[in-house]
Structure 1
């Protein structure tokens, strides 16, 4: 069972690596946001798989921290996109 969980964690991390390419290249902001969410959830999944495979339950704390950081990253990205959309409006940040 441990070998299966380790292989599953490797496959999840492979998907996260592919998502990292999308973050760096992504044609639009929405693609980048979805890739960042993939990085967060994939990292959480890999940490949880490794925690149960090796019996090192400190990885659960790391997974919770990564989930929280991914949520804050999505909020920050959304607020940034919202502010950049308002720059052209009258009464925006420059006025």
Structure 2
């Protein structure tokens, strides 16, 4: 019998793995490009979730670079229902 792909289970496992990774980064207070990308991924996988946004804005200034702030703006726009800001059309 073929294994059945469960997208919900896959998403949950991805989030749990990502949370573990971010906790490890926080424990060593290591700032790298990879950490910033993983922080962005966490925000975007949790669009509009206050918990993810609060985590992000509480990070130190060294981590809150342009890419992370852009991810925060996208997630905040989603939270506020401003979908035009989430997926802007080019003029």
For Structure 1 versus Structure 2, the TM-score category normalised by the shorter chain is 0.3 to 0.5
Which structure has the bigger radius of gyration?
Answer: 1
TM-score normalized with structure 1 length:
0.39
The structure with more helix, counted as a fraction of residues: 1
TM-score normalized with structure 2 length:
0.40
